[in-house]
Homo-oligomer: A and B are copies of this chain.
Amino acid sequence: MKFEPVSPVHAYQRIVEQIEHAVLAGELTPGQRLPSERDLMSQFEVSRSTVREALRVLQSSEVIRSRPGDPRGPEVLSASPAALHRSMHRLARAGQLGFGELLQFRMLLEGSAYLLAARLRTDEQLAEMTSALDEMGALAAAREPDYLAFSHADVAFHDAVARATGNPLIVVCGEVVRDVVLELIKDKLQHAPDRRAVMRTSLEHHGEVLEAVRAGDGERASRLARRALYDYYAGYLPEDQRTPLLPLLDSPPP
Q: Which residues of A contact B (CB under 8 A)?
A: 8, 12, 20, 23-24, 49, 52-53, 56-57, 59-61, 63, 68, 78-81, 83-84, 86-88, 90-97, 101-102, 104-105, 107-109, 111-112, 114-116, 118-120, 165-170, 172-173, 177, 218-220, 222-223, 226, 243-244, 246-248, 251-254
Contacts and interface: CB of A to CB of B under 8 A. Distances in A.
Contact of A168 (B63, B96, B253): B96
Contact of A102 (B78, B102, B169): B169
A93 B24 contact: yes
Contacts of A61: 60, 86-87, 90
B120 A91 contact: no
Nearest to A114: B254
In the A-B complex, the 6 residue pairs with the closest CB atoms: A111-B254, A79-B94, A219-B253, A83-B87, A84-B87, A252-B253
Contacts of A88: 84, 169
Nearest to A81: B91
A105 B167 CA distance: 8
